[in-house]
Amino acid sequence: MYQCPVCGELLEALTNVHCLRRHHITRRELIADYGSPKFVTPKLTADIQKWLKNTQIITKTDFDMAQASARVIIGKKG
């Protein structure tokens, strides 16, 4: 991930869209004025990993139930 040199936001890539919307200058102007974005590797602490696991939107059970329901519905139509 890259960190914007102006606002510090983590991005997959520093784009013109980000630069124009957030800073009202082009990517080229931002780099000329503030330097290149810094490449960073986010560290997943145990707390963050636990939070990600607990806030998972779709669990395996949810997926399996939806698949089973879809098979039943498709079976009734055929």
Q: For 39-62, write each residue's pLDDT tens digit.
A: 988 777 887 777 777 776 677 787
For residue 26, which of 9, 6, 2 has the smallest C-alpha distance?
Answer: 6
For residue 51, give its domain range: 44-78
Per-chain mean pLDDT for the chain? 86
**Residue 49 tokens, joined:** 């990993």
- Given a cut of 90, whether residue 21 has pLDDT beyond it is yes
Query: CA dist 23 to 14, 32, 60, Å?
Result: 12, 13, 41
Query: pLDDT at position 77, please?
Result: 65
Q: Which position has the higher pLDDT, 34 or 50?
A: 34
Both 4 and 29 in one domain: the answer is yes
Domain count, the chain: 2
Write down the pTM of the prediction: 0.54
Both 5 and 36 in one domain: the answer is yes
Both 24 and 54 in one domain: the answer is no
Instruction: Report yes or no: 7 and 13 within 8 Å, Cβ to Cβ.
Output: no
| Cβ count within 10 A of residue 29 | 14
Both 33 and 50 in one domain: the answer is no
Both 9 and 27 in one domain: the answer is yes
Both 30 and 65 in one domain: the answer is no
